[in-house]
Amino acid sequence: MKMTTTFAKVTLGFVAGAMTVGGIATAAVTLTSTSTVVCSDNRTGALYQSKNGACASTRTALNITSGQGSIKTIVAKVSPAVVTVEVTTPSGGDTGSGSIIQTTSTYSYILTNNHVIDAAMNGGGTVSVELNNGDSLDATIVGRDVNYDLAVIKVDKGNLPTIAIGDSTAIAIGDPVIAFGSPLGLAGTVTTGIVSSLNRPVTTQQTGGVNSYVDAIQTDAAINPGNSGGPLTDASGNIVGVNSAIASTATGSSGQAGNIGLGFAIPINEAKRVYTEIITNPNHQAARPFLGVAFDNNYTGKGAKVLSLVAGEAAEKAGIPVGAVITTIDGVRIPDAETAIVRIRSHAPGESVKILATLADGSTKSFTVVLGSTYN
């Protein structure tokens, strides 16, 4: 499936795959070896860097080596919390990946992409997961958010290992990252790379023509069809992103593109709000921040031109007029309407954003907007 982006003339494809060939593939990594003391949380197993070589009483000191030794340590920590997601429908099936994010004594929640489980929602199919130890479990769909390309599924098995949740706002371009998942059905695959860009506006089209807008983490870690929904972790093994899409120079609609060093992940801070609301809300839906404008799709200049306002919503309350051209949001340059949507959706309902706009008379004005909320 071909998608569009706002940043380059490339094709974006989902990284769900339907091919299952088995086996384990782990990328070889050679790094300069340096000894580092890290602290392992006694309850969660999460790793934290020691600032002075000592650890708190609730954590255990570990001396690891940066290089393949540390990669192996992180893989051993993360892999038990990564699953393969299998979708079976009357017309075929699909394969993706997921992360165990919460567990109780009787059941566990798994985070994946909406497009991984979409066929089961629309085609009368079933969902199952394969754990890292090879066990296969039936799964049910708790809820999903098409706008963010996220979904939560549930298995009736408790006390499973969960992935450590990181902070996607703390990563920087050049930071090392690790991608886990089941590309092309190869369960247990691990690849490494770096964060190659941040706040990359990426738009992918979901079933039914609904667009998903992602303020993405870009990485050169090898991501291929089947990696969808799997975790992108930092160098401590904490999930910082949900692998979702890849760029390709391929043309035509047949076949699936492979990795060319441009992969995109949904930031975990954004995903955490969505999956928490899916799990906790009675309707199993997540609210979306609402600016309350329609943008002019025929506008070809730089920025996002306001075509109309929704009465009583955030933009009108803040005084943004029809015809205004939004040029920055919270200091981030806005070249087009899609980038404006991505930046707004990277926030939570109720948050304040600073919007700079060029008015019809050529003047510029700053607006403080408190974002509204919608489920539509």
The catalytic residue positions are 115, 149, 228
CB 171 within 8 A of CB 8: no
Q: Could you write out the DSSP letters of every residue in 221-279?
A: S---TT-TT-EEE-TTS-EEEEEEEEEE---SSSS----SS-EEEEEHHHHHHHHHHHH
CA distance 82 to 101: 10
Phi, psi of 196 (to 5 degrees): -100, -15
> Side chain identity at 261, as an amino acid letter?
G
> Side chain identity at 102, as an amino acid letter?
Q
Helix, strand, coil percentages (3-state) for the chain, rounded to 5, are 15, 45, 40
User: End-to-end alpha-carbon separation of the chain, Å?
Assistant: 25
> Side chain identity at 293, as an amino acid letter?
V
> Side chain identity at 243, as an amino acid letter?
N
CA distance 19 to 323: 49
H-state helical runs in the chain: 68-78, 114-123, 268-280, 314-318, 337-345
